[in-house]
Amino acid sequence: MVTIVVGKWKQRLKPLVLPGLVGLLLLYTADQLLTGERGIVTWRVMKAQITELETQVYDLKYDIHRLEKHIARLRGIKNPDGKIEKPDKDFIDELVRRELGYLQPGDKVILVKEINKLP
């Protein structure tokens, strides 16, 4: 009697095995499509990282350009003829005053006292 019952279960489950495997395969494929290494979520995260890195590259290029102009003013600027002019004395003077705090004779210094703000 027991063998007859087991045989009936096998017969009932046999047609469900293939659709069950196909269903599991579809679930796995959907999971990989969404969250896998090359899935949609990963793609969006990488796209955001690319945008952030492109912004950083733009900012760094701007800084490089600004610093190259700064260096050119300190060293001297090339003319279209290829001759190098003397360094920009006003720029050097401004830089020394601002960064090092040097003064020329006759300069007047105004000290400003900071007022503590009330909480």
The average confidence (pLDDT) of the chain is 82
> Is the same domain home to 51 and 69?
yes
Q: Is residue 110 part of a domain?
A: no
In the block, which residue shows the tokens 């990488």? Answer: 46
Q: Is residue 44 part of a domain?
A: yes
For CA atoms 38, 43, 47, 53, give the dihedral sign: negative
> Is the same domain home to 46 and 87?
yes
> Is the same domain home to 28 and 45?
no
In the block, which residue shows the tokens 């006003």? Answer: 90
Q: Is residue 2 part of a domain?
A: yes
In the block, which residue shows the tokens 């210094």? Answer: 109
Q: Is residue 51 part of a domain?
A: yes
Q: How many whole angstroms separate alpha carbon 113 and alpha carbon 109?
A: 13
**pLDDT > 70 in the chain, percent:** 89
- Per-residue pLDDT of 10-63, as tens digits, reads 777 778 888 888 888 998 888 888 887 888 888 889 999 999 999 999 999 999
- 10 Å CB burial of residue 56 (0-12, 13-18, 19+) is exposed
pTM over 0.75: no
Domain of residue 14, residue span: 1-35
Model pLDDT, residue 119: 60
> Is the same domain home to 77 and 24?
no
